[in-house]
DNA sequence: AATGAAAAATGTAGCCA
DNA sequence: TGGCTACATTTTTCATT
């Protein structure tokens, strides 16, 4: 499925996903068209799902982040899931095993916005909120190894 | 600081951060050089911190995700933070208020890998693990509004 | 996977509101 | 300050080997 050239390619893209094919080709010691082919294949296979800019949320006016664990009140599971999806301040949410059920990340303009949003959930869920003080590990990619063909 | 043109530009990049300047220019009804200028400004101001490919973690051989809450044992706060940073399977981790202290996201090849990694933390932290069953909200950007100049 | 030519995109410079 | 056009350079794409 994926060999070391693909892994090198993905690694280079992680440094800067807007790098030109020509640049990538130089980094890999390959021709432009070859790199283009491989990239297209990785996109079509959905190994690469998208290319996104990483935005600084402070610049967007969000001064605060929080992690909220949510447990639906009886019969409110679907309603809770819908409201989570419909809350644009929630930038990430997982449904998990155990008591908590949902773990969501929120971005907030200020502390009053946190209060407003949690109020909106109070009729359908129990919540436990943690304010983010720092992020020792920012979103990063784990070691790239193929699920398929060996890389040796 | 940021006007509606910048917001439109950031929105277009979120659809595909590898889009050419020429394409972005067409989408914004502007000239190439103007868009190039704005993009450079957003990068220099660090509104855009980076451009990254979104990779499918299943394709990379990770079959499982978990959220782990960690509380350092007495005197182990720094050691715990270091080990978190040094664990490549942790793709995201926040230091938060309250009992939990750290909330980490892990990607795993299989359930035995979870066991191994948690064992490695057992001497420095109490852990509470939740396995991810689904992700109702995948990483997304909250509403883009400027922290500075109005957008009206 | 590479080559080479055609088409497209980019960066630069000078100019305008 | 922003944005524009014009043009030289680089990159991308496509057909072919």
Q: Quick check: A57 pLDDT over 70?
A: yes
Measured in degrees and rounded to the nearest 5, phi and psi for residue A27 equal: -65, -35
pLDDT digits (tens, 9 = 90+) for B62-113: 999 999 999 999 999 999 999 999 999 999 999 999 987 999 999 999 999 9
Given this model, what pLDDT does residue B145 score?
Answer: 82
pLDDT digits (tens, 9 = 90+) for A11-23: 999 999 999 999 9
Q: Quick check: A147 pLDDT over 70?
A: no
Question: CB neighbours of A98 closer than 8 A, spacing ≥ 6?
Answer: B130
> What value does the mean pLDDT take over residues A36-55?
98
Which of helix, strand or coil describes residue B3? coil
pLDDT digits (tens, 9 = 90+) for B10-67: 999 999 999 999 999 999 999 999 999 999 999 999 999 999 999 999 999 999 999 9
Contact A136 B51 (CB under 8 A): no
B81 CA → D5 C1’, Å: 55
Domains and CATH numbers, chain A: 4-53 (1.10.10.10), 57-131 (3.30.70.920)
d(CA B90, CA B55): 15
Pairing of the two strands B102-108 and B64-72: antiparallel
Given this model, what pLDDT does residue B149 score?
Answer: 45
Given this model, what pLDDT does residue B66 score?
Answer: 98
Q: Considering chain A, what is the average pLDDT of its residues?
A: 95
Given this model, what pLDDT does residue B99 score?
Answer: 83
Cα separations in angstroms, B142 against A60, A106, A142? 9, 9, 25
pLDDT digits (tens, 9 = 90+) for B112-150: 999 999 999 999 999 999 999 999 999 999 999 866 544
User: Strand C within 7 Å of which CB atoms in A 29-68?
Assistant: 29-34, 37-38
Question: CB neighbours of A24 closer than 8 A, spacing ≥ 6?
Answer: A9, A12, A13, A35, A39
Which of helix, strand or coil describes residue B20? coil
Question: CB neighbours of A77 closer than 8 A, spacing ≥ 6?
Answer: A101
pLDDT digits (tens, 9 = 90+) for A65-78: 999 999 999 999 99
> What value does the mean pLDDT take over residues A102-126?
98
Given this model, what pLDDT does residue B151 score?
Answer: 41
Q: Nearest CA of chain A to the CA of B53: how many Å?
A: 4
Chain B neighbors of A141, CB-CB under 8 A: 55, 91
Confidence of residue B152 (pLDDT cuts 50, 70, 90): very low
Protein-proximal positions, strand D, CB < 7 A = 2-6, 10-15
pLDDT digits (tens, 9 = 90+) for A86-97: 999 999 999 999
Confidence of residue A82 (pLDDT cuts 50, 70, 90): very high
């Amino acid at each position: 499925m994926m060999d070391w050239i693909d892994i090198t390619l993905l690694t280079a893209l992680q440094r800067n996903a807007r790098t030109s094919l020509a640049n990538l080709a130089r980094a890999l010691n390959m021709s432009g068209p070859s790199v283009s082919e491989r990239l297209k294949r990785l996109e079509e296979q959905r190994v690469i799902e998208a290319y996104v800019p990483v935005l600084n949320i402070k610049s967007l006016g969000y001064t605060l982040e929080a992690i909220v664990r949510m447990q639906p009140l009886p019969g409110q599971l679907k309603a809770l899931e819908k409201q989570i999806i419909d809350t644009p301040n929630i930038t990430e949410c997982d449904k998990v095993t155990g008591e908590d059920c949902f773990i969501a990340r929120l971005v907030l303009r200020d502390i009053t916005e946190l209060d407003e949003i949690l109020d909106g959930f109070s009729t359908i869920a129990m919540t436990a909120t943690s304010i983010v003080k720092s992020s020792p590990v920012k979103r990063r990619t784990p070691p790239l190894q193929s699920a398929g063909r060996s890389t040796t």
